[in-house]
């Protein structure tokens, strides 16, 4: 359903005019050129000598003596290439930036590598990401492998405490925990394993998740409590409990909601007939994460969400980008009357100007281009394909159309 001219923002209308030529001929090439430059810096970070690498220099490497951001250190992926960590990367060419990587625990007996701001902990191919316009924090991650399922679950069990200072929000609770997992890939697609199943398929059943050999963390018992299909959102919603096997206190169990969207193919985008279900799914994720009806009053009303596809960049980045703009325009809530156009949103956190400089002038009014570029600054390759960029424009346009005709 197309949005009406009276409801759609002018920048979005311009982008979608002339059969979306602006997106194909201006947005996609410009964003691709900037990501190519980042990739060059990522490669340089791996070829520097140890005496000058980020791993050796620590956080101070991010800023040179002249007060300017050191681009090689800024885009460093050194930690992901540590010999102990390479095996934990699902794909050899997709690794988190050192400065935004998610650090899980600091467990005795585990390999402790230097992370953002000198933090230590178990390696996890995941990145902290902050929406530019929506303001929400996410954990963007690859799908678990058999050897990384335990650290994936540990990121849920442990309280959040390692968000990089540059991404922190004044609204975030001092004690918060992930309670919603979004999965945008099937476990098996086209006969290939895309994600390891880390909880049972049958309600009431349990399975054990063992840590890898570098960690002395306890074995985790994972139980599927309930599962249901939600047809309008083309998803399966599950409640899952996780508890260390060493625990004798039932209150130690952590319960999270797992939401699997089933209509987004690998290396592609949802078909036209599935776009309404994707929009419904975005709404469902936001609603589920804010549901505190069964939680104590001290619970974080909207904690960070963990989201993955297979690699944790293409479908994952697209989902975060569309969520951010829908949130920024109040299209995920009922805070505005129907047929009312929200005021133009402003960025909700002050991200430093990246080493690449600002976006080209012709993109500085385009909120989707800004959002994608912001995400790519935080995790390499976010919103991986041009057709995914087009999808974000289409979903936002559809959301305005739904509001304008409701």
CATH number of the domain within which 320 lies: 3.90.190.10
pLDDT tier at 267 (50, 70, 90 boundaries)? confident
Handedness of CA 167, 169, 175, 180 (dihedral sign): negative
Is there a domain that residue 57 lies in? no
Instruction: Say if 350 falls within a structural domain.
Output: yes
Query: For residue 109, how many C-alpha atoms fall within 13 Å in the half-sphere facing its CB?
Result: 8
Residue 317 CA from chain centroid, whole number: 6
State mean pLDDT over 139-168: 86
Average pLDDT over residues 258-266: 95
Q: Cα-atom radius of gyration of the chain, to the nearest Å?
A: 21
**Does residue 6 carry a pLDDT above 50?**
no
Least trusted range by pLDDT, from 66-80, 125-139, 177-191, 316-330: 66-80
Whether 61 is in a domain gets the answer no
pLDDT score, position 248: 86
Helix, strand, or coil here: 117? helix
What percent of the chain shows pLDDT beyond 70?
A: 82
The whole-model pTM stands at: 0.90
Q: Which residues are within 8 A (CB) of 133 and not within 5 positions of it... i.e. 6 or more apart?
A: 324, 325, 327, 328, 345, 346, 347, 348, 367, 370, 371
pLDDT of residue 377: 96
Average pLDDT rounded to a whole number, residues 38-63: 65
> What stretch of H or E contains 242?
strand 235-244
Report yes or no on 382 lying in a domain.
yes
Number of domains in the chain: 1
| Residue partners of 171: CB distance under 8 A and separation at least 6 | 135
146/191 Cα distance (integer angstroms): 18
Residue 75 lies in a domain: no
319: part of which helix (H) or strand (E)?
Answer: helix 314-328
112 pLDDT exceeds 70? no
User: Is 17 domain-assigned?
Assistant: yes
Residue 272: domain span? 10-38+124-405
> Does residue 69 lie within any of the structural domains?
no
Query: Distance between CA atoms of 40 and 387, rounded to whole angstroms?
Result: 24
What does the pLDDT read at residue 401? 84
Residue by residue, what is the 3-state secondary structure of 141-199?
ECCCCCCCHHHHHHHHHCCCCCCCHHHCCCCCCCCCCCCEEEECCCCEECCEECCCCCC
Averaged pLDDT for residues 374-386? 97
- Model confidence pLDDT, tens digit, residues 301-316: 999 999 999 999 999 9
Q: Please indicate whether residue 141 or residue 164 has the higher confidence score (pLDDT).
A: 141
Q: What's the CA gap between 46 and 49, in Å, rounded?
A: 8
Residue 85 falls inside a structural domain: no
Averaged confidence pLDDT in the chain: 86
What φ, ψ does residue 388 adopt, rounded to 5°?
-75, -35
């Amino acid at each position: 359903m197309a949005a009406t001219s009276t409801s759609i923002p002018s920048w979005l209308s311009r982008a979608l005019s002339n059969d979306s030529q602006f997106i194909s001929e201006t947005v996609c090439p410009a964003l691709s050129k900037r990501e190519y430059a980042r990739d060059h810096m990522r490669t340089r970070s791996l070829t520097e000598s140890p005496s000058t690498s980020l791993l050796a220099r620590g956080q101070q490497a991010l800023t040179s003596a002249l007060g300017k951001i050191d681009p090689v250190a800024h885009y460093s992926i050194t930690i992901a290439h540590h010999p102990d960590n390479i095996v934990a990367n699902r794909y050899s060419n997709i690794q988190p930036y050192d400065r935004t990587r998610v650090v899980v625990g600091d467990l005795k007996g585990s390999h402790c590598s230097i992370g953002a701001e000198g933090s230590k902990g178990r390696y996890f191919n995941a990145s902290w990401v902050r929406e530019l316009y929506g303001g929400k924090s996410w954990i963007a991650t690859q799908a678990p492998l058999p050897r990384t399922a335990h650290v994936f679950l540990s990121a849920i069990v442990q309280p959040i405490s390692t968000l990089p200072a540059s991404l922190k929000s004044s609204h975030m609770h001092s004690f918060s925990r992930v309670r919603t997992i979004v999965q945008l890939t099937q476990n098996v697609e086209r006969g290939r394993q895309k994600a390891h199943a880390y909880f049972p398929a049958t309600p009431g059943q349990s399975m054990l998740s063992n840590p890898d050999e570098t960690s002395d963390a306890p074995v985790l018992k994972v139980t599927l409590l309930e599962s249901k299909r939600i047809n309008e959102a083309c998803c399966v919603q599950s409640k899952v409990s996780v508890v260390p096997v060493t625990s004798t206190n039932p209150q130690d169990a952590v319960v999270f909601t797992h939401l699997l969207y089933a209509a987004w193919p690998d290396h592609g985008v949802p078909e036209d007939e599935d776009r309404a279900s994707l929009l419904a799914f975005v709404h469902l994720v936001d609603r589920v994460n804010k549901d505190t009806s069964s939680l104590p009053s001290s619970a974080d009303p909207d904690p960070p969400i963990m989201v993955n596809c297979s690699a944790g960049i293409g479908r994952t980045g697209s989902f975060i980008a569309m969520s951010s703009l829908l949130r920024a325009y109040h299209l995920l809530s009922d805070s505005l009357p129907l047929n009312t156009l929200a005021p133009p949103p402003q960025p909700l956190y002050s991200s430093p100007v990246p080493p690449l400089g600002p976006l080209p002038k012709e993109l500085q009014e385009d909120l989707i281009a800004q959002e994608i570029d912001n995400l790519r600054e935080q995790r390499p390759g976010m919103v991986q394909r041009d057709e995914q960029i087009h999808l974000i424009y289409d979903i936002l346009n559809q959301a305005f159309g739904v509001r304008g005709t409701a």
